[in-house]
Every structure is written in structure tokens, then in C-alpha cells.
Amino acid sequence: MAGRCRTSKGALLALRAAQSFASRSCPRSATAAAPAPAPPEQPLADPAQPLPASSSGARHQQPPAPLPPPPAVDFADAQEAFRSKSSGELARGLLVLGLCSLEPLVDFSRKLLGQWLFEKLMKLTFYGQFVAGEDQEAIKPLIRRYSACGVGSVLDYSVEEDLTTEEAEKKELDSCTSAFEKETEQREKRYSVHRKFGDRRDGVISARTYFYADEAKCDRHMDTFLRCIEASGGSSEDGFSAIKLTALGRPQFLLQFSEVLVKWRRFFHQLAAEQGKVGLAALETKLEVEKLQEALAKLGVATKAESQHWFTGEKLGVSGTVDLLDWNSLIDSRTEISKLLLTPNIKTGQLEPLLSHFTEEEERQMKRMLQRMDVLAKKAVETGVRLMVDAEQTYFQPAISRLTLEMQRKFNQERASVFNTYQCYLKDAYDTVTVDVELSRREAWHFGAKLVRGAYMEQERSRAAEVGYEDPINPTYQATSEMYHRCLDYILEEIRHSRKANVMVASHNKDTVKFTLRRMADLGIHPSENKIYFGQLLGMCDQITFPLGQAGYPVYKYVPYGPVNEVLPYLSRRAQENQGFMARAKEEQDLLWMELKRRLFAGTLLSTPALS
């Protein structure tokens, strides 16, 4: 098999490459046990809190003045919600929301009107409502206008190729299968590509989708993201920029690496079950080293003498147990225990290599992807912009999340410059959040998270049903909301204790926003501490965004931008919003009417928006 790199160890190399980008290693600061969160780094705004006895002279200083309580937020105040908008923009908002509710009209309008008329209609309506402008320059007025109302921006370059379903499927099939796999049937079904689900845009409304063509195209995406980061840096002091990792490389690598990570975690839980540790939370599941070594020897994975070496030293097993974080750290080239990377197949009981083979060309592609991520994160740090890595489908997400975590280890030493995204519709969201927070605690870097419910539900569910694996999504909307609030509460507690964590509550759900405000008050986290942010998409739920901004809460709009024709494919899908959105849109429509009527009677219908 000429030209093929049989000895390369795909995903392990990925991690090795990711880690080699790190300029310094991250020491494990604590023992393997998950301790109670560290005490606060800086005093809370609580005058009753005693000063530290060791701070000489501090006893004679006045305690810091308490921060004034944040003003109440009124989400029914139409005047406040739309103060940044002209009456024309309000009328357009009403029209667009109205059009969204007419599903058949949207479905058939392209055919009915013809391409030319359809595009004209889209430009006048949806583009103006959901997209900020064609390029970095064109979007500046909107960013300034929002900023004057206390609303920041997460710039999101939103072009999408206008591919037919067949074209999308072909690209996906070509880019998700390695040369090695074309000859063998190695990957689990969940992490293999399936023609029926090759068009990843299906059933996804508000997220745009990238398909791999070649490395040059990924470089162009990187350049675009770089310009987007520069624009964020140039337009505000504390901006964000959003990126998607599927734009930066061949998705085959994300699939393979995801499979490795998931199999490895599954092996941990299998070993835990053998020790009678079932049904515990991820961080509470701890393997006794003695028994673990025996089990590994019995399975033929490693002799006791070999595994002795893995679970000693400052890295592992300090407390005599191994938890999931210790276990995960074994997928790490620095330990050089490649034999460990065999896992038993649950069905057959046979040992299988955890890693897939990459050709030299595939290996180069993988390294280029990591380099692109690194270039973007460096640029973000240089320009003072925070980089938000979007979450995508579950068959890519474990790899996306792990690679983002590697960037956080490197770039979040001083502040949270890189943010990961957690989808709370996933059954394992709480475990993922708690494990990552714990890692940031042990290694003393700044945790940064965006919490969302998740955008790919329908696609995920039908893929799981059709391909034949467990549905990764919570069974009900209620369960997703509970998961969201549970994950959020965990991070809020972490912020209370260390002030090192940061979270963006990315949701249009008023109850979730109210829940956050209540918990912030309970926990004594003031909005001016700039630790908890809120995020909504441009053109949606201004009645949540603007009152929050006016009350002094850090709040951001995801601001898509890009040339009209290139954003249209994404917008056409936006025009087919789902029923959940429409229920909320009714409330927004009522508020828009209320404000238009108020302006009419006040004689200010034609005035320009007041922004002070």
C-alpha cells in the first residue's frame, strides 16, 4: 500500500499536534480528587465579608463600597426594546415575522416568484432583518448603534454555498471517509458518513453549514475568520467572533477523533461498572487503581508492570483512584502508551485499536486544520477579541469540544479568550460541563462557555433512528430546559467561587434569562463583573436583548454578515422557522405593534431612533 502511513496514529497525532502548539505545559495543580471549588480570587461585593488577616494594613482600610443593585429588567417594555430601531425597521420586522408564519408561502415562493423576484423579496425583508450588511465596513453603523444601547456584537460571517442536495451529499461522502476506510469497514455507524444525512443543512434552521472541498477553500475560510476577528477588534473593545471548526478542515478527522474520544470514555465506564460503580455522576466515578490494573491485565490491554507506570507520578492516581479526567489525559502523546489505545469491542469482546490509520496526505490535512485554529486563536488574543467556537453535530462535537479545550488550555491563562459551546439538549451535557470545569480548576485556566439548547435536534434524532444508535437528545423539551438550568447553575456556582469562569447564556427563552438573573442575584454576582453574558441572534427577541443592555447586563447579538447572494441560501432556511420560534414571535409581533402605535400617537413615527 504505497504512500500510506501505516504507523501514523490518526487521532493521537491530532492531539499531539494540538498540544505541541501549546507554548507551555499546563501543570496539574491539584490531586486527582475533585475538591470543593477554590475560594474567591477577589472579594465579592459584600461589605460584610471579612478582610484577609494576612493583608497588612488592610484592616484599617474601608471595606469596598457595595455595588448598587442592578435595575430591574422589564421584558414587556416595547419602547425600550425597540429604541434602536426606526419605524421602518419595526414595520419590516412585523412583515418578516408575518411571512415566517405563512409556511406554504415561504416553501413555494421561490418557485412561485422565480429566482429573481424571490431574491429581491429576500433582500428587502429577511436580509435586512437577520443580516447586518455585506462586509466589515457596512456593518459598522449597526454595531455602533447597538453599542450605544449597551448591546455588544458577536460577529459571524455567514456565507453558505448554494449547493443542491446531491452536491452536498457527494461532498460529504468524499470528505468524511479516509483512504484506509474505503477498503475496510472500521468505523462505528454513528461516526461514519451516511448518504441520507450527507446534506447536513437538512432540518437545521439557524446555523449555517460548511462542506469541505479542498485545503485551499479551508484557507479562504480561515482568512475570512481572520478578517472577522479584526473587524470585531476594530469595532468594539470587548467583542466576540464566532467560528465553526467544520469550515477549517476535512470533517473526516473530526469524525475519527470523536469516535476515539467516545470509545475511550465508554471503556472507562465499562471498567467502572466492573468495579460496581454505575449510575454515578461523571466526576464521582473513580476507579481503584489496583483493580483497574488487574482488569487491564486480564483484558490483555497492559500487564500490571506496564500500567503501573501509567498511574503513578504527579500526573495520575495520586489519591489511589483514577477519575475520568485522569483517564482522558492518557489519550495524550506525552504518555507514549500507544498500546493502551486498544479497547475491547463491547459486542465481540475482541481488542481493537482505538486509532485509525491516516495516509500522509490526510495527516497533513489534519495538521493544517489545527494550525488554522491556532492562527485564529492567536489573532483573537492579539486583538482582544474572544473567540467563540460553535457546537455542531454530535458525530463531530466530541472532537470539536476537545480541540477547543486544548486551545483554552493554551490561550485562557490570563482571561477567557476562547469559549467552548455546550448543547444542553444532549443527555450527557451536564457530565461534559462538569468535567471541563473541573479540568480548568485543576489546571488553573479561565473557563469560557456558551450554553445553548442545541440547533440540530431533528437531524440528530432521525439520524439516530435510521442508522441505529441511541438518540443523543433528551427525551422532552422539559428535560432539555432542566438540563440547561442545571449546567448553568453549576457554572454560576463556579463563578461565585473562583471568578475565573465565564458563561454566555445564548438563548431566546425568557424563562431561562429570568432564571439567570435570579441566580445572579442569589449568588451575589453583579453584572458589572462581566462574567455572565447573554446572547441572542440578530433580528430576534429584541425585547430580551435591549432591556438587558439598558439595565447594564453584558448582552450580545450574534451578528451575521456577508454578501447578499452568498447569505441567501442560509436565509432561505431561516425563512422556514419552526413552530417553537413562531409561538415566541407572536409576543414579539404584539410588542412591535404596540411600539408602532405608541410612536404614531406620540407623533414620533418618522423620528430617528434616540440612542442615549
Which of these segments, 77-85, 94-102, 320-328, 455-463, binds ligand FAD (CB under 6 A)? 455-463
* SS3 category, 322: strand
Q: Does 457 bind ligand FAD (CB under 6 A)?
A: yes
Site string for ligand FAD, 546-565 (x = CB under 6 A): ------------x-------
Q: Which member of 133, 198, 454, 562 binds ligand FAD (CB under 6 A)?
A: 454
Identify the residue among 211, 267, 358, 425 touching ligand FAD (CB under 6 A).
425
Contact 389, 402 (CB under 8 A): no
Q: Does 390 bind ligand FAD (CB under 6 A)?
A: yes
Report yes or no: 267 and 344 within 8 Å, Cβ to Cβ: yes
Site stretch for ligand FAD (CB under 6 A), options 128-136, 173-181, 283-291, 473-481:
473-481
Site for ligand FAD in 568-607 (CB under 6 A): 580
CB of 301 or CB of 555, closer to ligand FAD: 555
Nearer to ligand FAD, 244 or 496 (CB): 244
Q: Which is nearer to ligand FAD, 563 or 580 (CB)?
A: 580
Among 209, 480, 498, 545, binds ligand FAD (CB under 6 A): 480
- From candidates 241, 474, 498, 516, binder to ligand FAD by CB under 6 A: 474
The residue type found at 360 is E
Q: Judged by CB under 6 A, which of 190, 453, 499, 599 binds ligand FAD?
A: 453
Which residue number, 156 or 363, has a Cβ lying nearer to ligand FAD? 156
Kindly identify the residues of this chain, within the stretch 348-377, that bind ligand FAD according to CB under 6 A: none
Can you name the residues that pair with 155 across neighbouring β-strands?
241, 559
Give one DSSP letter per residue of 400-437, joined into a string: HHHHHHHHHHHH-SSS--EEEEEETTBTTHHHHHHHHH
* Least spacing, CB of residue 247 vs ligand FAD, in Å: 13
CA distances from 134 to 91, 138, 567 (A): 22, 6, 9
Report how far Cα 539 is from the mean position of its chain's Cα atoms.
21
Q: Which of residues 191-230 bind ligand FAD (CB under 6 A)?
A: 206-207
**200 φ/ψ sector (left φ>0, alpha ψ -120 to 50, else beta):** alpha
Give bridge partners of residue 388 from the DSSP assignment. Answer: 242, 419
- Nearer to ligand FAD by Cβ, of 342 and 457: the residue is 457
Q: Is 62 in the site for ligand FAD (CB under 6 A)?
A: no
Min. distance of Cβ 67 from ligand FAD in angstroms?
A: 27
When binding is defined by CB under 6 A, the residue of 97, 455, 532, 585 that contacts ligand FAD is 455
Kindly tell me which of 381 and 452 has the beta carbon lying closer to ligand FAD: 452
Using CB under 6 A as the binding rule, the residues of this chain from 485 to 544 that contact ligand FAD are: 506-509, 512, 535-537
By C-beta, is 87 or 507 nearer to ligand FAD?
A: 507
* 504 SS3 class: strand
Find the shortest distance in angstroms from Cβ 533 to ligand FAD: 10
Distance CA 152, CA 555 (A): 6
**At closest approach, how far in Å is the CB of 394 from ligand FAD?**
10
Using the structure block, give the residue that is written with the C-alpha cell 471541563. Answer: 436
Lookup result for grid cell 465506564: 269
Q: Which three cell numbers mark 140?
A: 459598522
Find the angle CA(20)-CA(24)-CA(29) to the nearest 5 degrees.
120
Q: What is the spatial distance between Cα 598 and Cα 612, in angstroms, rounded to a whole number?
A: 19
Half-sphere exposure of 274 (CA within 13 A, CB side): 17
Residue closer to ligand FAD (CB basis): 109 or 545: 545
The CB-of-481 to ligand FAD minimum distance in angstroms stands at 7
Distances from the Cα of 357 to the Cα of 10, 49, 342, angstroms: 6, 57, 14
Shortest spacing between CB 585 and ligand FAD, in angstroms: 11
Nearest CA among 549, 539, 479, 466 for reference residue 513: 549
592-601: Cβ within 8 A, 24+ apart = 592/78, 592/82, 592/90, 592/93, 592/94, 592/97, 593/94, 594/78, 595/78, 595/79, 595/81, 595/82, 595/90, 596/87, 596/90, 596/91, 596/94, 598/78, 598/79, 599/87
Binding mask 299-338 for ligand FAD (x = CB under 6 A): ----------------------------------------
Q: State which residue, 337 or 479, has the beta carbon closest to ligand FAD.
A: 479
- Least Å from the CB of residue 401 to ligand FAD: 11
Nearest alpha-carbon partner for 222 in 367, 373, 363, 370:
373
**Residues found near ligand FAD in the complex (CB under 6 A):** 206-207, 390-391, 421, 423, 425, 452-457, 473-474, 476-477, 480, 506-509, 512, 535-537, 558, 580
